[in-house]
Structure 1
Amino acid sequence: MSFGSPQNPYGQPQDPQQGYGQPQQPGYPQAPQGVPPQGMPPQPGYGYPQAPPVPQQAGYGYPQQPGYGYQQPPYANWGQRFLSRLIDTILYMVVYLPLVLIGAKAEIPALSLVGVLLMIAFVIYQIVQEGRTGQTIGKKIVGTRTLKEDTGQPLGGGMAFVRQLAHMLDSLPCYLGYLWPAWDSKRQTFSDKVCGSIVIVSK
């Protein structure tokens, strides 16, 4: 029985090179499997990885500025500066003077030496604290703080030490530098102007 006879139950003869179950459509060439037809975008999920979402940038890279309600803390006035200095001076004398006087009266040089060493250690402690936090013990009690004028940050230990040395300028002439904050617009002494420091009221 031939394939082309009317008795063939399968109809038209089959091409041995044609796949089973995939009849060819005349005039429409089929694209290879997995390749989308021309003119149509590729569909995600079939071999085409999706691009990760791009995070949104807030403010286009510009840092946020302080609000309009921001106010710089006020400068410490002359009375506040004098009071904090007075407290620190009294603390120095409490640490240093009794041991020195007792040692001198009892003729015990070692006791006087201990008093001097304790005072030096206390002075170093005060400088380090002012450099790190902006406050000595006296400034902390009164509520003031020493900061850099350009950054608003504490001075650091080195600059705090330089500022203490620069207080010699405040003594010349006739302690005028210590009185200068009474009328200066930024309430600065001469040493503050040299070191670029300000003393503000601490919140």
Structure 2
Amino acid sequence: MSYGDPNNPYGQQPQQPQGQPYGYPQQPQGQPGYGYPQQAPQGVPPQQGHGYPQQPQPGYQAQPPGGYGFVHLPALGTVQLASMGSRFGARLIDGVVIGVIYGIFMTVGVFSAMGLAEEGDKCDWEAADYYACQDEANMNALFVGLGVMAALALITLLYEWMMISFAGATLGKMAVGIKVVKDDTGQAPGIGGGFVRWVIPQLGGILCGIGTLLVFLSPFWDNSGRQVGWHDKAAHTVVIKKP
């Protein structure tokens, strides 16, 4: 008489499925489990690591296909960043252009002011309105000087602001083949972006020009590897070589 399993009164040993080691449960066919590689669903490529790969974020990337010194921008693809040497060369050319414009306006303004001041010498010193005549000539010369200064300030503003806003480049940048674009669209910065990019260095000029110099040198210590200056970060722009 057997005192074993009541469901097996005859004491027979259970039969082990063929091909399955004794003591291990049989793995259901087609079902993933411990020690069995899980098959990827049909039509889905195998993934490396856990989960699905992250999709590339819009805007520029730190290491695009071209490697260091390149950037991936929407609508432009992978383009090369502008070197600091080319950006410095563009500033020099722009300085020469602005200097020539300043020279022309200053020459015209000085000669005009001198001509108006000399009008005071023609005033009749014996006339009752002699001093009024002198004051009028001096005021006219002063207004010419102030007008020339205002015109130069306006030209400086419009030259950098408008050209960067709509063309993405000043004459200097065009000459060396570089361009300023938005980092999220790859297009010209527009009125707002162009103004922000222009005004940041101007505000730096309050500190005797030291702030402006630091703004222009700030791409050297940009840790993103994209040579983005403080004014570019504020305007969300990046300087690239023309595609």
Query: Which bin holds the TM-score, normalised by the shorter protein?
Result: 0.5 to 0.7
| Residue 90 to residue 150, structure 1, CA distance change in 2 (3 Å) | same
Report the TM-score, using the length of structure 1 for normalisation: 0.56
Q: Which residue of 1 aligns with 2:231?
A: 191
User: For residues 180 and 122 of structure 1, what CA distance do their matches in structure 2 show?
Assistant: 22
Give the C-alpha shift of residue 112 in structure 1: 7.1
Q: Which has the larger radius of gyration?
A: 1
Q: Which residue of 1 aligns with 2:217?
A: 179
| 3-state secondary structure, aligned to 1:72 | strand
Q: Deviations over 1:85-115 (max 9, x none)?
A: 1111211111113432453366254377347
| Residue 116 to residue 91, structure 1, CA distance change in 2 (3 Å) | farther
Q: Compute the RMSD of aligned alpha carbons.
A: 3.0
Whether the aligned pair in 1 keeps the contact of 2:204 and 2:212 (CA below 8 Å) is no
User: For residues 102 and 157 of structure 1, what CA distance do their matches in structure 2 show?
Assistant: 31
User: For residues 235 and 160 of structure 2, what CA distance do their matches in structure 1 show?
Assistant: 18
| 3-state secondary structure, aligned to 2:181 | strand
User: For residues 136 and 107 of structure 1, what CA distance do their matches in structure 2 show?
Assistant: 34
| 3-state secondary structure, aligned to 1:175 | helix
| 3-state secondary structure, aligned to 1:91 | helix
* 2:84 maps to which of 78, 81, 90: 78
Whether the aligned pair in 1 keeps the contact of 2:196 and 2:234 (CA below 8 Å) is no
Aligned residues: 136
* 1:96 maps to which of 78, 102, 123: 102
| 3-state secondary structure, aligned to 2:240 | strand
Letter in structure 2 aligned against 1:155? P
1:1-203 equivalences in 2 (<5 Å) = 71-101=77-107, 103-104=109-110, 107-108=114-115, 109=141, 110=144, 113-114=147-148, 116-117=150-151, 120-121=154-155, 123-167=157-201, 168-169=203-204, 173=211, 175-184=213-222, 185-203=225-243
| 3-state secondary structure, aligned to 1:163 | helix
User: For residues 122 and 173 of structure 1, what CA distance do their matches in structure 2 show?
Assistant: 18
Whether the aligned pair in 2 keeps the contact of 1:144 and 1:200 (CA below 8 Å) is yes
| Residue 172 to residue 189, structure 1, CA distance change in 2 (3 Å) | farther
User: For residues 188 and 121 of structure 1, what CA distance do their matches in structure 2 show?
Assistant: 26
Report the TM-score, using the length of structure 2 for normalisation: 0.48
Give the C-alpha shift of residue 176 in structure 1: 2.5
User: For residues 234 and 149 of structure 2, what CA distance do their matches in structure 1 show?
Assistant: 32
| 3-state secondary structure, aligned to 2:110 | helix
Whether the aligned pair in 1 keeps the contact of 2:193 and 2:236 (CA below 8 Å) is no
Whether the aligned pair in 2 keeps the contact of 1:99 and 1:111 (CA below 8 Å) is no
| 3-state secondary structure, aligned to 2:79 | coil
Q: Which residue of 2 aligns with 1:11?
A: none
Whether the aligned pair in 2 keeps the contact of 1:144 and 1:202 (CA below 8 Å) is yes
Identical amino acids, percent of aligned pairs: 30
Structure whose residues are more often helix by fraction = 2
Give the C-alpha shift of residue 137 in structure 1: 0.8
Runs of 4+ in structure 1 off by over 6 angstroms are: none
User: For residues 75 and 201 of structure 1, what CA distance do their matches in structure 2 show?
Assistant: 6
